[in-house]
Amino acid sequence: MPVLFYIHGGGFMVGSSSAQISGREIWDATNLVRRSLTIGKPVIVVSINYRHGQLGFLASTELTEFNRKHGEAVGNYGLHDQRQALEWVSKFIAGFGGDADNITIDGGSAGAVSCHFQSLFPNRKFKRAMLFSGTVLALAAMPLDWHQRIFNSFVQKFSVSGSTVECLQEVPANVLTHDVVGVWYTPFIDGEWIPGRTLADLKTKNPPELLVGSCSYEQDLTLSILSPALRMSPQDADKFMRTTIFSVLSTLGLTTQPDCLLAPKILELYNLSTSVDTPTQQFANWAEFVAEVVFRIPQYHVALNHIGSKIYVYEFQSTSPFPGWEAGYGKAGHAINEVLQYNSGGDLVEEKHQAELSGAVQELQDSITNFCHGQLGWEPFNTDNQERLGPVYTFTNYGRGRKYERIGDIIGPDVLKRWMAVLAISEK
């Protein structure tokens, strides 16, 4: 049987394949597997854990020397955990009835970023990848000097002297992983597995088939990330927002010059020209801008540069029925399709949302299962026509999705104009 290999998200900071909400493991694949059996296209689902945070993505000159001394891959420990798990599945999944030559990997947010990186690694052990609300451009690999500053902050935090790696190893794990906050983790440009930051640096021969897309309201996440603390003064709130916005832009892979994304033309298209110094005055616009350059636009840059295999693009519009996350409730918020594909808590949803949810879940699960079987129901993206940007399939409430020939027919001319402006910078 085809195999679906799931990598959880969490911004490379948190997360688990057995994460629970309301007493349910939200990535429990029972519901998805039952649906695959119902439609006569069974799949086997494998989920994994991997190191994240400082144990998964610290990098420095000292750690590089330590890794090489021990014959290990340099940095990116979390990504190599995933790679080793894929090696294990490739070797042993036949014992569970799985087809080692028909593995599809799948993840949302940082899980999607991970899947994209895995698709670029040599000698991969899978055939296809699904990227839900994330690409290698969202949390791009960063150079050694960027990582060294983070590593140095750990050295200073724990007053380490002498051989820093060995001394840090003496710090209790619960202290090392929980007492340090405010660090933004990304993969490391190691020069071997990850040669660079942009798509031009990361080209690979014979890439796998990709299914890639985003949700129509990704800013539920960026509204949270950019929100200043209530106790902050207006000046401090603006400073916090400016710092956070530039921090996010500086770790994107759309361009190595993040200032380009704040060009006057871009700011004008997003109605941000008068709020560069006082972003709190246009809070919602800044959140939408950041969401689009991190999650919404990069998929088209990826699609236009995907040469050597098929790539399919979707737009997820099915809305969240979960009131516990207020920013995303009633909207197609960040990576909500990752939750709906498993639907492990669907029976807990209020009755008024059941009809719209069940249809959306069924449509999504059928598409995922079909993709694992190599039978997706719409045509690949046309990589030859940047003006067209299509076709794109929309997933909607009640399962009434449809194919559009071009993204402009979905998002409208004004949004398309600003996306094309950002893409023009990316293509340079």
Where do the DSSP E strands lie in 251-388? Answer: 311-316
* Per-residue pLDDT tens digits for 17-72: 999 988 889 999 999 999 999 999 999 999 999 999 999 999 999 999 999 999 99
Token representation of residue 195: 């040669």
Backbone angles phi, psi at 111, to 5 degrees: -65, -35
Question: Can you give the pTM of this predicted structure?
Answer: 0.96
* Per-residue pLDDT tens digits for 275-286: 999 999 999 999
**Structural domain boundaries in the chain:** 3-218+309-402
Where do the DSSP E strands lie in 249-397? Answer: 311-316, 392-395
The three-state secondary structure class of 312 is: strand
* Per-residue pLDDT tens digits for 67-86: 999 999 999 999 999 999 99
331-362 residues labelled b (16+ CB within 10 A) or e (exposed): bbbbbbbbbbbbbbbbeebeeebeebbbbbbb
DSSP codes joined into one string, 359-383: HHHHHHHHHHHHHHTT--SSPPP-T
The H or E element that residue 46 is part of is strand 44-47
The three-state secondary structure class of 413 is: helix
What is the Cα–Cα distance from 424 to 428, expressed in whole angstroms? 6
Residue 367 has pLDDT above 70, yes or no: yes
What pLDDT does residue 174 have?
84
Length of the chain, in residues: 428
The architecture (CATH level 2) of 3-218+309-402 comes to: 3-Layer(aba) Sandwich (3.40)
Residue 181 has pLDDT above 70, yes or no: no
What is the Cα–Cα distance from 212 to 217, expressed in whole angstroms? 16
* Residue 261 near residue 270 (C-beta atoms within 8 A): no
H helices of 49-172, in order, are 53-57, 61-69, 77-92, 110-120, 144-157, 164-169
What is the Cα–Cα distance from 27 to 105, expressed in whole angstroms? 14
Give the Cβ contact number of residue 159 at 10 Å.
Answer: 7
